[in-house]
Structure 1
Amino acid sequence: MGGPALKRVGIRDVAEHAGVSIASVSNALNRPEQVSETLRQRVRASVDTLGYAPMPAARQLRQGRSGLIGMTVINIANPFFGALIAGAEDAASDAGMRVLAANSDDDAAQERDHLGLFESVQVEGALVAPFSDTHTPVSRLRGRGIPVVLVDAIDDAGELASASFDNVAGGRLAAEHLLATGRRRVLFLGERDELAQVRDRRAGAREALAAAGLDMPGERLARTDPASGLEFGARIAAADPADRPDAIICSNDHLAMGLVRALVDGGVRVPDDIAVVGYDDTQLAEVAAVPLTSVRQPAAEMGRRAVELLLARIRSPRAPRQTVVFAPRLTVRASTVG
């Protein structure tokens, strides 16, 4: 059996120890300019002796603030979204705020629940990397005076600020690279009509191939994770070499990792037999068994910029709605050039 629970030291304990009123302690901690230096030192000595830790969240709520930014992402298992959250947390911390991160896990209902949670805990603003049509819950947040910024997506209606990526240009860049290395039978792996980001990547790649007089078939997947890549890669490795593509563009690095693993295990040479391009250029791309060529999305920078846009809206609801779009860059590694 454990011992008795330790009693939390409160502001009343500090006041009794210092021999002053609770109001004096509150002023010394929160409005030090209103009290004497002697009182400040007296209260500080009691705080240090007792180990008192103020509760900023409670203080902020009394002031009508939560100090929280809500953030929902599509799938936190994907390293891209982990980096996106990390960038947002850095920027929020610099502003004295915290990020309440939520994982939709490729589930529209779960995404709606998270947005409802943000409303109930009174976040000061919300960052949404949308998995689905979030119009209704986002409208409800905005109706409560909670500003919203889209991340990794653009608001077609032009009502919301956003920090996103030029995915059409990114898809085009991947396809043009494969064409330059002599590939002609290119497959797009991980089509998902519910995700605008993936639709744009596919469209950009198809544009580049069409300009070269080539078609690009696509493979639709329910999830774009390593397990799906492993499953599809095993099928390709088992197929007749004459029926295989000579290059595959994956909708993200997460999927590409599983694909490359299965191809190599199945005796398919990457890139000699099949070249593979990923998307996001996560840290894992560089350290993979076959280092992965990938279209770089500056995830952490995007997260930081999104918070800056949101803070501007929190401070001034009339602030201009900005649309920030990051440009693509291709990082070329062994999965396409050997």
Structure 2
Amino acid sequence: MAQQTKYNMVKEKITEWITSGQVKPGDKIYSENELVKMFGVSRHTIRQAIGDLVHEGWLYREQGAGTFCSNKLWNEKPQIQHQSSNGKNIGVITTYISDYIFPSIIKGIESYLTAEGYSLTFACTDNDVEKEKHCLQTMLSRNIDGLIVEPTKSSNYNPNIHYYLELEQNHIPYLMINQFYPQLMPPHIVVNDEHGGFAATEHLIKLGHEKIVGLFKTDDLQGVNRMQGFIRAFREHGITFFPEMVITFTTEEKDSRLLERLEKFFNADSIPSAIVCYNDQLALQILNMLRELGLSIPDDVSIVGYDDSFLAEASDVKLTSVTHPKMQMGIDAAKWIVDAVEKKDNIPPSIVYEPELVIRSSTTTLKK
């Protein structure tokens, strides 16, 4: 627990710098080397703490430039306007804005739309359906010409469906990315997450692993579909599957509670030899937890992440991870919405990306 205490101490201190105004939005924070010396902790602990603060929206990274303080309140202000030459405005709603894979998706959308002379109105739901309602109301009040939206809690029934039907009634095209609401069956650009979950699990099975635990977020369809692929891999390879091999969680569940549930497996007599994770961020947290338990990655436990994000290479153990086309998804979504706005009678088809597995040093053959 000492390492976990140091990790929390680093997070809390940096958060305190931001909330107190000691570090202001846009300010560059100390380098990894400076933070290691300042706090007297390992580089891995610093990377974990910074990774979490990026995920939570307190910080953001610029490749080659460093890590900077974000304006976290910006997430709560639904729109940012850009000037346009043609007067057309596209709405963009995502679950999150300033963390994980979303900056790359948004950058792809923004680069294409602004080049085409469109203005953008951004909004963020924090994966909360009530916030989604307010975002949709804002978009409708601004008379947008088209909408790109990432669904909120996509595996649950969505109470805001009537806003999307209003868009249809007003002949405003909309596109869903990453997932879509099954009730609407709208045009969408998604990753084949079932195949991604299958590929991650099959990779471990081919390395000789059979006792594999899967962790999946189940209030979003991405997690449900990844879990389906996980289960299919066991069936197709004729390996006995036990229900306790799946640990599910939701947006509201605290990371510490999830890690406690997983830790119970490693306090039992027969520990898992591999773990499939919902995403890279969770994989890094688990890697840290296993090290605290005195386990080595990948010699004792192999880990596979998902999204092939910058976090996959943030630790000294590089994560094997399933690809997500991030920037390309943003560009394709922007192209789709421009075509739909300008050629209203010819709605473009949906796109499904086939993900691939990038093999790094977090997985290895099972030691007999």
TM range (shorter): 0.7 to 0.9
> Relative to structure 1, is the Cα distance of residues 235 and 264 closer, same or farther in structure 2, using a 3 angstrom cutoff?
farther
Instruction: String of CA shifts for 1:246-277, please: whole Å, max 9, x gaps.
Output: 21111111221212122223322111222111
- Greater fraction of residues in helix: 1
Where do 5+ consecutive residues of structure 1 fail to align?
A: 1-54
Once residues 153 and 101 of structure 1 are traced to their aligned partners in structure 2, the CA distance between those partners, rounded to angstroms, is 18
Once residues 324 and 240 of structure 2 are traced to their aligned partners in structure 1, the CA distance between those partners, rounded to angstroms, is 27
> 1:156: how far off?
4.5
Instruction: Check the 8 A contact 2:150/2:180 in 1, yes or no.
Output: no
Structure 2 counterpart of 1:31: none
Once residues 271 and 189 of structure 2 are traced to their aligned partners in structure 1, the CA distance between those partners, rounded to angstroms, is 37
> Relative to structure 1, is the Cα distance of residues 177 and 159 closer, same or farther in structure 2, using a 3 angstrom cutoff?
closer
Structure 2 counterpart of 1:249: 276
In the alignment, does 2:217 pair up with 1:196? no
In the alignment, does 2:247 pair up with 1:219? yes
> 1:79: how far off?
1.3
> 1:116: how far off?
1.4
Once residues 174 and 168 of structure 2 are traced to their aligned partners in structure 1, the CA distance between those partners, rounded to angstroms, is 7
In the alignment, does 2:199 pair up with 1:209? no
Which stretch shifts more, 180-189 or 239-248?
239-248
Structure 1 counterpart of 2:40: none
% of aligned pairs identical? Answer: 25
Q: Aligned letter for 1:84? A: I
Partner-residue secondary structure (3-state), 1:267: coil
TM-align CA RMSD: 2.5
> 1:235: how far off?
5.3
> 1:70: how far off?
1.2
> 1:318: how far off?
0.9
Instruction: Check the 8 A contact 2:82/2:119 in 1, yes or no.
Output: no
In the alignment, does 2:201 pair up with 1:180? no
Residue 122 (structure 1) aligned to one of 128, 137, 143: 143
Residue 342 (structure 2) aligned to one of 304, 307, 315: 315
Once residues 217 and 227 of structure 2 are traced to their aligned partners in structure 1, the CA distance between those partners, rounded to angstroms, is 7
Instruction: String of CA shifts for 1:43-75, please: whole Å, max 9, x gaps.
Output: xxxxxxxxxxxx984986xxxx3x322111223
Structure 2 counterpart of 1:263: 290
Partner-residue secondary structure (3-state), 2:296: coil
Instruction: Check the 8 A contact 1:263/1:269 in 2, yes or no.
Output: yes
Once residues 257 and 181 of structure 2 are traced to their aligned partners in structure 1, the CA distance between those partners, rounded to angstroms, is 34
Q: Aligned letter for 2:195? A: A
Partner-residue secondary structure (3-state), 2:176: strand
Q: Aligned letter for 2:339? A: A
Q: Tell me the TM-score normalized by structure 1.
A: 0.74
Partner-residue secondary structure (3-state), 1:187: strand
Q: Aligned letter for 2:141? A: S
Structure 2 counterpart of 1:48: none
Instruction: Check the 8 A contact 1:280/1:297 in 2, yes or no.
Output: yes
Structure 1 counterpart of 2:351: 324
Q: Aligned letter for 1:184? A: E
Once residues 155 and 316 of structure 1 are traced to their aligned partners in structure 2, the CA distance between those partners, rounded to angstroms, is 24
Once residues 213 and 161 of structure 2 are traced to their aligned partners in structure 1, the CA distance between those partners, rounded to angstroms, is 33
> 1:304: how far off?
0.8
Instruction: Check the 8 A contact 1:161/1:309 in 2, yes or no.
Output: no
In the alignment, does 2:133 pair up with 1:112? yes
Once residues 147 and 174 of structure 2 are traced to their aligned partners in structure 1, the CA distance between those partners, rounded to angstroms, is 5
Q: Tell me the TM-score normalized by structure 2.
A: 0.69
Give aligned pairs, total: 276
